[in-house]
Amino acid sequence: MSPISRVEGIPRYVQIRESLRNEIQSKTLLPGQKLPSEDELAAQFGVSRMTVRQGISDLLDEGVLYRKHGIGTFIAQPQVSRDHTRLTNFFESSQANHVEATMRVLIADILPARLKMAKALALNEGELAIRIKTLRMADGIPVTVHDAYVPYKLFPQLLQEDLESHHIWEYMDQYGYTVKRAVQRLEAHEADEEIARLLEIEEGAPVLYKERTVYTEDGTPVEFTYCYNRGDRYSLTVTLSR
**Per the domain annotation, does 1 fall within a domain?**
no
Quick: pLDDT tens for 68-120. Answer: 888 889 888 766 655 556 676 676 766 666 678 889 999 999 999 999 999 99
Whether 235 and 147 have beta carbons less than 8 Å apart is answered as no
Residue 6 has pLDDT above 70, yes or no: no
Which of these three, 49, 75, 101, is where a domain ends? 75
What pLDDT does residue 220 have?
A: 95
What pLDDT does residue 5 have?
A: 61
Q: Which amino acid is at 71?
A: I
- Residue 208 β-bridge partners: 188, 229
Cα(201)–Cα(7) distance, rounded to whole angstroms?
44
Confidence of residue 3 (pLDDT cuts 50, 70, 90): low
Quick: pLDDT tens for 148-177. Answer: 999 999 999 999 999 998 889 999 999 999
Q: Do residues 19 and 91 share a domain?
A: no
Cα(40)–Cα(46) distance, rounded to whole angstroms?
10
**Per the domain annotation, does 162 fall within a domain?**
yes
Degrees to nearest 5, angle at CA 162 with 25 and 217 = 85
**Closest alpha carbon to 111 in 134, 127, 133, 135:** 127
**Per the domain annotation, does 7 fall within a domain?**
no
Cα(30)–Cα(32) distance, rounded to whole angstroms?
6
Lowest mean pLDDT of 6-20, 112-126, 153-167, 183-197, name the range.
6-20
| pTM across the whole model | 0.69
- Residue 10 β-bridge partners: 7
**Per the domain annotation, does 183 fall within a domain?**
yes
Q: Do residues 58 and 87 share a domain?
A: no
Share of the chain above pLDDT 70, in %: 85
What pLDDT does residue 32 have?
A: 80
- Domain of 54? 12-75
Which of these three, 40, 56, 75, is where a domain ends? 75
Quick: pLDDT tens for 28-56. Answer: 888 888 898 889 988 888 888 999 899 89
138: domain CATH number is 3.40.1410.10
Q: Do residues 181 and 69 share a domain?
A: no
Confidence of residue 59 (pLDDT cuts 50, 70, 90): confident
Q: Do residues 68 and 96 share a domain?
A: no
**Per the domain annotation, does 177 fall within a domain?**
yes
Q: Do residues 85 and 183 share a domain?
A: yes
Q: Do residues 60 and 178 share a domain?
A: no
What pLDDT does residue 204 have?
A: 93
**Per the domain annotation, does 96 fall within a domain?**
yes
Q: Do residues 104 and 60 share a domain?
A: no
The DSSP code for 240 is: -
What pLDDT does residue 174 have?
A: 92
Crossing angle of the two packed helices 38-45 and 12-25, in degrees rounded to 10: 100
Cα(142)–Cα(104) distance, rounded to whole angstroms?
10
Q: Do residues 191 and 227 share a domain?
A: yes
**Per the domain annotation, does 3 fall within a domain?**
no
Task: State the average pLDDT for the chain.
Answer: 86
Number of domains in the chain: 2
**Closest alpha carbon to 166 in 101, 82, 216, 93:** 101
What pLDDT does residue 223 have?
A: 97
Cα(71)–Cα(68) distance, rounded to whole angstroms?
5
Residue 25 has pLDDT above 70, yes or no: yes
User: Region 191-209: what's the mean pLDDT?
Assistant: 93
